[in-house]
Amino acid sequence: LDLMLFNLNNSNCSFFKNNFVRVFLNGEDKIASLKKDLEKAKHSINLLYYIFADDEVGKEIMEILVRKAKEGIKVKLLIDSIGSMKAKRSFFRQLTKVGGEVAEFFPPLFGFRLFNFKANYRNHKKIVVIDGKIGYTGGINIRDDHMGRSKRLSPWRDTHVKIVGNAVHDLQVAFFNDWRYCKNISDSMNNLVSEGYFPKLGTYGTVGCQIITSGPDLSNRPIKASLLKMILSAKESIYIQTPYFIPDETMLSALKIAKLSGVDIKIMIPSKPDKKFVYSATLSYVKDLLPSGIEFYRYDGFLHSKTVIIDNKVVSIGSCNFDNRSFALNFELTVFLFDKDFVEQNLNYFNVDLSYCDKIEKSFFKRKIYFNKFTQAFVRLFAPLL
């Protein structure tokens, strides 16, 4: 209850109960479900993705979007300029040619891909809202390697959710806030309601949801503050999954205080890095925290999941990594989910993942000759930007 009130007072976010929430642990399952729901769309499809690639899975989704736009469905696609840099803009024009709309978050100067003075600020969210009734969000982008189709980063373990219920309204609000900014339009939410984007929804399940967005435009860093509140409220356990573990001093202190208070803390990171320099920074923080008694585990593959589970009471799932970039520089979205059975389900997922992990001991760093004090100090210089 205190976390719900904190989120309401700090982020002005509503609490929605009676939602159905389905968890996806890999990209293939998420995309299969998403394609089925896109095919059934009757009114509108809104998508926001950090990465929407012009590859096999990207073409599959684009083909559906183009076809639905031809049918008269309102289709809006918002992409991040940096995340979707490699996709040719002609790939997206096929949607606009049939009546769909495409917008780019912080586009480059004069259309030149290498000239982007806002490149450090990225819209890292993943949002899909279909007919104002079905929502998707989490960590999985529209790209083949997120499906586990890259041998170098396979198996790819991720977490994404499908939401059916009133909480979808806040996903829709999050989408339209970014859409209106990028398109420089001032349609009021009342107009969007009259256009059918916010239909009345009933009871679909038992999961309570709060949806929080954050970005460099918000000085109170809402997602970081909520995660900090979770950590400091923990009485029994804190379980974290993140591909990048680069906390600031506030988060480091909170974790140490929680551990000194007798809280069981387990943090899971990948064993296969996608960005070696960032992985070195992650390991430097792991090495620092090991003496505190916090347990670290390396997942046998690439772990892209961004989840935090506290005391068997609440779980957060979203796009926000446990690092400075996500907390301060990126535009992110995280769902806080409240339901005993749902949290238990995610605890089971975490424990299954542990069976695919190696626990990191102090001897791990003794084997890594290159990981000396110089390397650790060097990567820490860049930690605020990673």
Contacts of 349 (CB under 8 A, 6+ apart): 23, 25, 159
- Supply φ then ψ for residue 74, to 5 degrees: -75, 115
Q: Cβ atoms within 10 A of the Cβ of 86, count?
A: 11
Cβ contacts of 302 within 8 Å, gap of 6 or more: 153, 154, 155, 156, 157, 243, 270, 272, 273, 274
Our answer to whether residue 146 is catalytic in this structure is: no
Closest CA to 104 of 212, 213, 178: 178
Q: Of 30, 68, 124, 313, which is the active-site residue?
A: 124
Q: Which amino acid is at 133?
A: K
Alpha-carbon distance of 306 to 290, in angstroms, equals: 21
Choosing from 68, 229, 304, 313, the catalytic residue is 304
311 assigned to active site = yes
* Cα distance between residue 156 and residue 284, in whole Å: 23
Site of tokens 């542990």: 354
Task: Say if residues 74 and 129 touch (Cβ distance below 8 Å).
Answer: no
Query: Strands 101-105 and 74-80: what pairing?
Result: parallel
> 109 in helix, strand or coil?
helix
* Residues 6+ positions from 188 with CB-CB distance below 8 Å: none
Task: Reply yes or no on whether 2 is catalytic.
Answer: no
Q: Is 43 annotated in the active site?
A: no
Catalytic residue among 131, 145, 158, 353: 131
d(CA 346, CA 297): 17
Active-site residue, from 74, 133, 306, 313: 306
Among 74, 126, 146, 259, the one annotated catalytic? 126
131 is annotated as an active-site residue:
yes
- Residues belonging to the chain: 386
Catalytic residue among 144, 248, 288, 311: 311
Q: Is 304 a catalytic residue?
A: yes
- What is the set of active-site residues? 124, 126, 131, 304, 306, 311
